[in-house]
């Protein structure tokens, strides 16, 4: 079971950050964030470098923090997508 900590995201929404579920980024981890306290519905990521919820994921699975530039590269890379 995930270690969830409730936090307030922009707009006043309560979300739940899983401190034990993360993806490795270039400057720090990206923690998985859920919209429910039972970890059933994923909401997004929180940047472990700057604590921002302002992150984006592209279709290749690349995650980037829009605040500090922390980046998680996709699991698989294909030159055809460049």
pLDDT, tens only, 2-28: 799 999 999 999 999 999 999 999 999
pLDDT at 78 over 70: no
* pLDDT score recorded for residue 72: 96
Beta strands in the chain (DSSP E): 4-8, 14-23, 30-34, 42-47, 55-57, 63-65, 71-72
Q: How many angstroms separate the CA atoms of 1 and 81, rounded?
A: 36
* pLDDT score recorded for residue 75: 72
The token pair at 18 is 């899983």
Per-residue pLDDT tens digits for 36-71: 999 999 999 999 999 999 999 998 889 999 999 999
pTM summary value? 0.86
């Amino acid at each position: 079971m995930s270690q969830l900590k409730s936090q307030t995201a922009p707009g006043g929404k309560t979300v739940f950050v899983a401190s034990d579920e993360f993806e490795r980024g270039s400057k720090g981890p990206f923690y998985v964030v859920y919209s429910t306290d039972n970890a059933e519905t994923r909401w997004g990521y929180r940047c472990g470098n700057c604590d921002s919820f302002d992150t984006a994921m592209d279709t290749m699975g690349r995650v980037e923090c829009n605040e500090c530039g922390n980046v998680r590269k996709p699991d698989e890379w294909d030159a055809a997508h460049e």
